[in-house]
Chains A and B, each alone.
Chain A
Amino acid sequence: MLYDQELLQERRKMYTDLYTGIIPKRVPISVGLATEISIENAGLPLAQTQWTAEGLEDAIENVVKNIKSDTFPSDVARSPQYAELSGDKFWNMGKSGIMQHPEHIYMQPEEYDDFTHSPYDYILEKLLPRRLTKLDESNSIKSALVLFKAITAMNNTRATMGMIQGKLAAKYSFFSVPFEQSGFTVAPFDFIANCLRGFTGMMSDIKRCPEKVSEACEALLPLLLKFGLPKVQTNIGAIFMPCHMPTFMRPAEFEKMYYPTFSKLIHAAAEKGQTFSLFCEDNWMRYLDYLQDLPQGTRFQFEYGDPKLAKEKLGKDHIITGFYPSGMFKTHTKQQCIDKAKELLDILAPGGNYYFNFDKAPLTLGSTNLENYYAVVEYVAENSTYENAGERAFVSDRESTIKHVLKDIPVFTSKYYQTKEDYMQNNSYPIEEIKPIIASITEGYETMTLKTIMGLL
């Protein structure tokens, strides 16, 4: 079965309206669900199925077909194959069969200067060998082969998930943004905390060497912008960015060390016409004034906090979602779960600039109740029609909300990244006139390699 064109058009229109500041026909619904739940629900072995993908498509369909979401109830693809083939210390499978990333420290505080000098060089030369235990620094052939296998495994995992999503999207007419218009990145501060210093190390660094932290964040900005920007920049697609550390810090520390490069990253993308979609982990209510300062159309998924306050501060020019406590599915009755959705719709839907999602995607079958999950989504799909659809929802002129910061962000450079110009200067080719074409294509591969490497981290 292929797309129900009418339904798909309706969904496309709702999202185009939402993202361009127009009140849609009803509240759009984009909920998430961990693949692990579908696997468990089908009675398949969790760890083994993540390896073999046997029965995965049917398992996912059996859950997804019951969810009246407008987009695929998606998940980030975690790859146990990649983790095993590379020996990546970052990703570990627990006894339960769930992939997790426990805390590790990969960079010592005295290495900040080295990192700041060229973050991409440091990542390739120091971080990868420390994380990927199967790389062998004394044997470059072996290392190259390990990396090739590991990246192939990661790409295969993503392709498998992508194919299943594509098929099911066609069957159930889920709206999706083209791949070339979507991206992923992290804020510089979060990158250092997640990938280099660990939670504990970072919390000490902000007390002991705040200047080093800020310098490293600035140095990372060109790389993380390049990593995040999709091939085609639009305000329909988005760069997804999970934001981790702010609520663990004091507001003054956030303002000094987290916010400056976080804000520049988002404004720089907006200057290029690209929107950001942020997952604001934990309770961000004390940072709403900062978020207000981000470009029009920036999307925020909140985990906890006060939906009224968020709507009041961000409801006019930004798009809000989240707040629904998905833990309720397990602990409350169906009616209580539906009542909660109604309560949130009453607060967040008026005036548009809102789509429905939970605080986070449920992760395991035992910790949720799918019947309640389905019922809540169905309730929202049937009870959130706007009477003033088509009216303008954004209030400001978009341009006036964008800060021009691109001019202050240095162009990304690394000895491991050959630009078109480098190619033109340093290479000859038997057919001289096609050299510019080759230069452009080779730079495309450089960018693809950079995004692949960064995508492993």
Chain B
Amino acid sequence: MNVDLKALTQAVGDLDEGTVAQTLESFVASAPSGDEAQKVLKACQEGMAIVGDLFEKGEYFVGDLIFAGELLTSAIAILKPVLAEDKGDKTGKILLATVQGDLHDIGKNIFGGMADAAGFKIADLGIDVSAATIVAEMKEYKPDILGLSGVLTLALDSMKTTVDALIAAGLRDKVKIIIGGNPVTEESCAIIGADAFTKNAAEGVKICQEWVKGR
């Protein structure tokens, strides 16, 4: 394989789009095996962990997380023709939604992208999702973690309604719940009855990793 995996990981971490694209294009041109392509993809995904760390250190900002997501999407697009089928050995399953009444999805998408890169299987229900829909999807998808997102203060109400609906449906104990977005605080997390809260996508992914560790 003609790829320096460490350098590739670092290039993703540095958000060096030119180097990443060049590396991947010449890799694809060398007609690699599906397994080799999986290794290269993994190296790219590991670059996202560098991005997350730099974000937590305050060297990167939200814009960098968004661009990193774009970078990874285009990397996967380049690799697609040579990628072997995903064997499905995922870290854990996350069900994601922006709660009812709120139409914002940028934060949710950043978190979803980073959690995906960290090996989670993601089902994203989109925006303005009712408690009833989330309960139904919980039964169907059986996630390990439920991520509820929102930007408006009204989202806090909908998050509480959603958690209450899960309790009523007897599903609350079957899942860890993390809430995220601008209005969430420690106090609102307690009122809502979630297990964790974050305003920071990278931190959110770490919390989820802790939860599924050693299962």
Contact = CB atoms under 8 A, between A and B. Distances in A.
Contacts of A330: 153, 156, 188
Contact of A199 (B61, B106, B127): B106
B7 to A, nearest CB: 20
A367 B187 contact: no
Contact of A368 (B128, B153, B187): B153
A306 interface: no
Interface string A196-213: 000110111011100000
Contact of B63 (A96, A206, A366): A206
Contact of B157 (A101, A202, A247, A367): A367
B191 A98 contact: no
A178 interface: no
A331 interface: yes
Interface in B105-147: 105-106, 109, 127-128, 130
B187 A250 contact: no
A363 interface: yes
Contacts of A430: none
Interface residues of B, number: 32
Interface string B153-167: 110111000000000
Interface in A200-255: 200, 202-204, 206-208, 247-250, 253
A366 to B, nearest CB: 4
B187 A249 contact: no
Contacts of B103: 92, 94, 100-102
A96 B100 contact: yes
A205 to B, nearest CB: 10
B112 to A, nearest CB: 13
A94 B151 CA distance: 13
A367 B154 contact: yes
A117 interface: no
A364 B100 contact: no
B108 to A, nearest CB: 11
A203 B66 contact: yes
Given A203-B62, A363-B153, 20 more contacts: A94-B102, A94-B103, A96-B102, A96-B154, A100-B102, A101-B103, A199-B106, A203-B70, A247-B61, A250-B61, A327-B153, A327-B188, A330-B156, A331-B188, A331-B191, A332-B187, A363-B154, A364-B157, A367-B157, A367-B183
